[in-house]
Amino acid sequence: MTSIHFAASRGGPREAPLHLMPFHIAYDGPAPLSTYFLVHPDSAPDGPSQEQVNPSRVQRFISTFRGRALKGTHIPLPDGYTGVLLRSSAPAAPKAKPPARPTPTKRRPGPSSKKRAASPIPIPVPDSDDEAEQAVQRAEEERPRKELRVDGVFRGFVLWGADGEADEEDAYVRALGEWRRLAELIHDTSVGATV
């Protein structure tokens, strides 16, 4: 099991813009977003204005990605919540390559292979509590460590849609409210709380 440690960022975390796209991009690396992904405020609503539907969500945007029109809606995080962007100090593990040819799923006809038996593995048992504590401490020191540093914070994100704007029925918007309510229920310390 890998342990995760959070390191303090230098100079405090910066406010980071966050965009949730309606598709998967098969690329992981730097990209000149400020050159190609230009975001503009949406000034021409198609139906009733967003201000009339929900006054707390008034920021709407338009953009294009590879020639496809996108409509975005700013989704604020609930009051008292802040999102955190984390960056690993270690390089990402290389992705496993798919096999060059498909692996057979059935056994070849013929005589069955020999039966195998697992050999027992000796497990040292400490004689005292001190030895047990030392063994736990050695295991902790040998455990791989992953250090994460806070790279930015956000208080909302722009949810983009290729087929239209996000509304209260969008899966991400619903999940944000449902998880917040679930967290409140889990951490409720009042005795006899009812659901």
Contact in structure between 75 and 159 (CB atoms under 8 Å): yes
Do the domain assignments include residue 94?
Answer: no
pLDDT of amino acid 120 = 78
Do the domain assignments include residue 137?
Answer: no
Tokens 């999102």 locate to 83
Helix (H, G, I), strand (E, B) or coil at 160: strand
Do the domain assignments include residue 63?
Answer: yes
Q: Using one digit for the tens of pLDDT, what is the confidence trace for 72-108?
A: 999 999 888 889 888 887 665 665 666 666 665 665 6
Average pLDDT of span 7-23: 80
Q: What is the CA radius of gyration of the chain?
A: 26
Do the domain assignments include residue 116?
Answer: no
Do the domain assignments include residue 74?
Answer: yes
Average pLDDT of span 2-23: 76
Average pLDDT of span 121-131: 71
Helices (H), ranges, 20-170: 33-36, 50-53, 129-142
Starting at the edge strand found earlier in the chain, the sheet holding 19-20 runs 19-20, 156-161, 68-76, 60-65, 40-41
Q: Is residue 153 packed enough to be buried (19+ CB in 10 Å), middle (13-18) or exposed (0-12)?
A: middle
Element (H, E) at 176: helix 171-186
Do the domain assignments include residue 103?
Answer: no
The total number of structural domains that make up the chain: 1
Q: Using one digit for the tens of pLDDT, what is the confidence trace for 27-39?
A: 888 888 888 889 9
Show Cβ contacts of residue 85 under 8 Å, excluding neighbours closer than 6 positions. Answer: 13, 16, 18, 150, 151, 152, 153, 154
Do the domain assignments include residue 141?
Answer: no
Residue 163: give its domain's CATH number: 2.40.128.680
Tokens 């951490």 locate to 187
Q: What is the maximum alpha-carbon separation in the chain?
A: 76
Domain of 56, in residue numbers: 13-83+154-190
Strands 83-88, 3-7: pairing is unpaired
Q: Which residue has the higher pLDDT, 158 or 5?
A: 158
Half-sphere exposure of 48 (CA within 13 A, CB side): 6
Q: Which has the closest alpha carbon to 45: 37, 57, 36, 35?
A: 57
Do the domain assignments include residue 23?
Answer: yes
Tokens 């730097």 locate to 30
